[in-house]
Structure 1
Amino acid sequence: MKNQKGFTLIEMMIVLLVISVLLFITIPNVTKQGSSINSKGCKAFKNMVEGQVEAYRMEEKTIPEDLQELADAGYLNEEYKQCPDGRALAIDSEGAVTIVD
């Protein structure tokens, strides 16, 4: 009988078991980080909008009333008027940008 090289069924089952255990460990950790990632993304977007408000204020000598005014003036893209997690942003009368929950 020839010496055939390859994996046995038991070896393949052990490899699948190890991969399954690793997946069971990593998937819950990744899903827990989703809200943290969205929160940090919203804070970063808020900071970017604050910069755009300041640029608008410097060029137009006035404060924009809302994000639509920034978008109309070309400071924001139309599709980027809210945080990645869906929360809205608001601009107050002094030009401060806040996250509306």
Structure 2
Amino acid sequence: MFTIKSQKGFTLIEMMIVLLIISVLVLIAIPNVTKHSSTIDQKGCEAFIKMAQGQLQAYLLDHKDPINDISVLVTNGYLPDNKCPDGTSVAIEDGKVVAAPNAGNGNN
């Protein structure tokens, strides 16, 4: 006697519906991530400037000698680089670390 066993699994329609749902979610998520990229870069630069300001204060405490050039902090190991994570250069003006004017974003 011939019997048919019940087969378990997904049909092609069910798999296509799941792929459609995943595709819609991806299409929604990607623009939101790229939209916030510039905000992330800006916050990263603000954090780097605050860290560099702290390192400037540490240098002043260690050496008791005011400086006007950020490269002194890099040379002495207080900072790894004189640029924000987004490539914007930083400088020292009036004893404060600021984003360098007219420095662009490092793509020059």
- The answer, yes or no, to whether TM exceeds 0.5 is yes
Give the partner amino acid of 2:48. Answer: F
Name the CA distance, whole Å, in 2 between partners of 1:97 and 1:76.
12
Deviation at 1:57, TM superposition (A): 1.0
- The higher radius of gyration belongs to 2
Partner of 1:99: 99
Matched, 1:86 2:87: yes
Where structure 1 has 5 or more consecutive residues not aligned to the other structure, the ranges are: none
User: Using the alignment, how far apart are the partners of 1:48 and 1:27 within structure 2?
Assistant: 31
Q: Which has the higher helix share?
A: 1
CA–CA distance in structure 1, aligned partners of residues 83 and 54 of structure 2: 15
* TM-score between the two structures when normalised by the length of structure 1: 0.90
Runs of 4 or more, structure 1, over 3 Å off, are: none
**Residue equivalent to 1:49:** 52
Name the stretch that deviates more: 24-33 or 68-77: 68-77
Q: How does 1:1-101 map to 2 (within 5 A)?
A: 1-77=4-80, 80-92=81-93, 94-100=94-100, 101=104
Count how many residue pairs are aligned between Structure 1 and Structure 2: 98
- Identity within the alignment, %: 53
Distance 1:24 1:5 in 2: 31
Q: Distance in 2 between matches of 1:26 and 1:62?
A: 50
Which whole-Å CA distance do the structure 1 matches of 2:78 and 2:49 have between them? 14
Deviations 1:24-44 (A, max 9, x none): 111100000000000000000
In structure 2, C-alpha distance between the alignment counterparts of 1:64 and 1:85, rounded to whole Å: 25
The alignment partner of 2:36 has SS state of helix
